[in-house]
Structure 1
Amino acid sequence: MARRHPVRDRRRGAGVKEAVFEGATVIGAGAAGLAVAHALVKAGVAVQIIEKEDVLGEPWRRRHKHLHLNSHRDLSTLPGVAYPEGTPAFPSKHAVIRHLKEFTDTHRLPVEAGVAVDEIMFNGDHWAVQTNTGFRLTRHVVVATGRDRQPYIPEWKGTMEFTGRIIHSADFGDAKDYVGKKVLVVGAGNSGFDALNHLAGVNATRIWLSARTAPAILPKRIGKIAVHRLSPIIARLPLWLADAVITGLQRIAFGDLRRLGMAVPSSGGVSRLASENIAIATDDGAVHAIKNGKIIVLPTVREFTRDSVILADGSSVYPDVVIAATGYRPGLEHLVGKLGVLDGRGVPLFNSGMTDPKLPGLWFTGMRPNIRGCFANARIQAHAIAAKIRKLGPQPRS
């Protein structure tokens, strides 16, 4: 008989599910959440999936209209479902949304939409998940809310006085909106190059790139070969060798970029991916635009004035729009911040099949980038978590 626990949501007076759910509650119905739910079902573990959005794939719907995966179609699927014939090699966000829906429908995954989680608490031998519909008691919690829930913009000095627009790259919008504009992109990571790739194809008056750190960059293709197809091989290499391969591919594709102001990274692309969660940038026209002078590489941003951005060397530029391609945060502090499981950047200290012995039953997936891409990584981590939970078996009751 399931354990009872007298938990009440006094703030809302909401109903309470008092019986402990002797399975796994998956929080988030994106690729990582759906993949782990499917793996758990196959492993014989009962699953409930809760999703704060009212529509599946809503975070993808909110992203800009030009968004495509940088991972290849054949390496970006969830188990048992393929993209329709004719899907481009690098699927659009609309293709991804359809894929998520087809996967959910095919495997009849029990997604409860419109259920937002306020906090996750440990009650000794099970978990209490506080939601907008009340408490849920569960043996296992898998947090799959994504590593890019909250767009991050640094608190640069003077931004409140700046009369131009400052937006995050997540709100890039339509590339045509930048025709005739002077645009400064801050950040040369994956999202920065995504913006630059689109800007390179429109007639902006001026495009600048300011980067705090030198990026590792790979082209989408070398000749007819989609570079991402090499990712399963690179992922199996020792870090030093994987770094050397990425550096070599970058040099073959682009030559020496130092003369254009693109410094050599202090560490290899795969090492930075593993240690700092900095994704390798994907080029689809931006490097050519840098080489022909359409995009000008600048020093780092120091501060803003009413009509300018002052750079680290004291020079200034006068953009109409500043696109902050400065990354995302998982935004997990309100969920698990009291549990001591986050590092200084708000990233979980453990991921995939790892867990904290003091907090049995708490799992995270999809919280760190991987060279294989988010879909392939979701599958790998799903199997790891499902195997660990299945091995634990039913929990003893006192």
Structure 2
Amino acid sequence: MFSFSDQNGFCGRRCVWVNGPVIVGAGPSGLAVSACLKEQGIPFVVIERSDCIASLWQKRTYDRLKLHLPKKFCQLPKLEFPEEYPEYPSKKQFIAYLENYAQKFDIKPQFNECVQSAKYDDACHLWRVITVSTNGSTQSETEYICQMLVVASGENAEGVVPEIDGLKDFTGEVIHAKDYKSGEKYAGKKVLVVGCGNSGMELSLDLSNHNAKPSMVVRSSVHVLPREIMGKSTFDLATMLMKWLPLWLVDNILLILTWFILGDTQKYGIKRPSLGPLTLKNHHGKTPVLDIGTLERIRSGDIDVVGGIKRFNHTSVELVNGETLDIDSVVLATGYSSNVPYWLQETEFFAKNGFPKTPFPNGWKGKCGLYASGFTRRGLAGASADAIKISQDIAKVWKKELNHKKQKVPSHRRCISTF
């Protein structure tokens, strides 16, 4: 990698030639690709808009968060979790693992650089990635020029804030789940949690643990499964069964076992989708909720389940069934989205929703040296699988071009270069 200043002084932009791929994002997906490339001796540059690796985990997750799946399904390539880690590592433990991962493979991202645009130059057959650096009070632009671009900015780059009638008029606190840390400050308060995915369920449980009075909005159907069945991870059990049985049968087995363990969730206002949990995940990317105690609090009445929202008022919320609830605060557990469409000027490989158009397992490679890591809707295991495929593909291209360059150099020049 080398850089030079723009001779025309356009916005003081600095131009950088990258002798290898540019990786956008220093989360688990970007780190995994970087480590795999590092082991093959391929140079790269990682661009990260925040000031740290895994900023989603470090800055936009709640304190009580733990990995939802056993650690063996969440480790990145080339490095296992420490043996002393529990089956479900905590947020702090996972961050420590990622920091150790970056240190082990000597991954040093370009921090505080936010990608403004990335576009393929057809004339030059190169990618042009323009970033804005906000380091302190100064702001500058950098243009990275490369032959390969790895999009690893993640499925959960931005929090989704829905437009709900009257929400702007509500006088209490309104935050997105990404800004929620702990239920400690909500003790004694009536909190409306909008959303019933894993985040909505866990935040409701955390609020209840801190003596708040949470009401959870369950607008659509959702699968709630126990995190473990007969002492074994539900995900692990499903993975094992799918080796021998068809998907529909595994779905039915999981639902029967879930009914024995959790009972009929519909009695508590949580309807199940018509499609099975694994079928729904594979076809629509909707992840089932793994229960870690929330359902028990719902049964006891500590967490109230309510239907859809009609509108907000100054100090209350009106539900679609006509009921009105007085509330103090609102937590929007309404999910996250990819931000790829905002900066990647490409429409053939990526769809408008920021995900590859090609379904799993082939959505990791586009044209003209474009790659996508971590957009499988299959968590850290999917990101790791992408990283291995991407690094192997880049290595083939890299070695092919290297051999081509060597063939162009006269033999006596090649001998001189070895000294």
TM-score when scaled to structure 1? Answer: 0.88
Query: Is the Cα contact below 8 Å between 2:27 and 2:54 reproduced in 1?
Result: yes
Match of 1:91 in 2: 89
Q: Which residue of 1 aligns with 2:13?
A: 14
SS of corresponding position for 1:113: coil
Distance 1:353 1:384 in 2: 10
Shift of 1:271: 2.7
Residue in structure 2 matching 1:316, options 324, 327, 333:
324
Alignment of 1:4-83 (within 5 A): 12-17=11-16, 19=17, 21-62=18-59, 63-83=61-81
Question: What count of residue pairs does the alignment treat as equivalent?
Answer: 388
Unaligned ranges ≥5, structure 2: 133-140, 406-419
Find the residue that maps to 1:135 and give its secondary structure.
strand
Q: CA RMSD in A?
A: 2.8
Partner in structure 1 of residue 417 of structure 2: none
Partner of 2:265: 257
Q: Tell whether the 8 Å contact from 1:185 to 1:196 is kept in structure 2 after alignment.
A: yes
CA distance in 2, matches of 1:241, 1:76: 26
Q: Distance in 2 between matches of 1:216 and 1:387?
A: 37
1:295 to partner: Cα distance: 1.7
SS in 1 for 2:110: strand
* Mapped pair 1:102 → 2:107: no
Please state whether the residue corresponding to 1:98 is helix, strand or coil.
Answer: helix
Higher RCO structure, 1 or 2 (CA under 8 Å, sep 6+): 1
Moved more, 78-87 or 310-319: 78-87
| Structure 1 position 249, deviation (Å) | 3.9
Give the Cα separation in 2 of the matches to 1:389 and 1:103.
21
> 1:212 aligned to 190, 206, 219, which one?
219
The whole-number CA distance in structure 2 between the counterparts of 1:57 and 1:355 is 20
Equivalent residues of 1:299, 1:313 under 8 A apart: yes
Is 1:180 equivalent to 2:188 in the alignment? yes
Contact map agreement 1:83 1:95 (CA 8 A) in 2: no
After superposition, the Cα gap between the structure-2 partners of 1:384 and 1:79, relative to the gap in structure 1 and judged at 3 Å, is closer
Corresponding residue for 1:240? 248
User: Which letter does structure 1 place at the counterpart of 2:111?
Assistant: A
**SS of residue matched to 1:244:** helix
Q: Deviations over 1:201-242 (max 9, x none)?
A: 2322x3222122111122223343333433543665654344
The separation in 1 between residues aligned to 2:197 and 2:9, in whole angstroms, is: 44
Q: 1:342 to 1:308 in 2, by over 3 A?
A: farther
2:204/2:215 contact within 8 Å kept = no
What is the TM-score normalised by the length of structure 2?
0.84
Query: What's the CA shift string for 1:270-292, capped at 9, x where partnerless?
Result: 23323333222121111011112
> Does the 8 A contact of 1:144 with 1:365 survive in 2?
yes
Equivalences for 1:181-200 in 2 at 5 Å? 181-200=189-208
Question: Quick one: distance in 2 between partners of 1:167 and 1:123?
Answer: 41
**2:389 aligned to which of 378, 384, 391:** 384
Q: Is the 8 A contact 1:353 1:381 kept in 2?
A: no
Q: Percent identity?
A: 27
Q: CA separation in 2, counterparts of 1:76 and 1:28?
A: 18
- 3-state SS, counterpart of residue 26 of structure 2: coil
Post-superposition CA distance 1:56-81 (Å, at most 9, x none):
23321212222211121232222333
Distance 1:61 1:340, change over 3 A: same
1:221 maps onto 2:228 in alignment: yes
The residue aligned with 1:201 is: 209
Q: Could you say which residue in structure 1 is the equivalent of 2:416? A: none
- Take 1:85 and 1:107, find their aligned partners in 2: how far apart are those partners? 20
TM-superposed CA distance for 1:8, in Å, is: 7.9
Measure, in 2, the Cα distance between the counterparts of 1:217 and 1:155.
26
Quote the offset at 1:164 in angstroms. Answer: 2.0
Between 179-188 and 102-111, report the one with greater CA deviation: 102-111
Q: Which residue of 2 aligns with 1:332?
A: 340
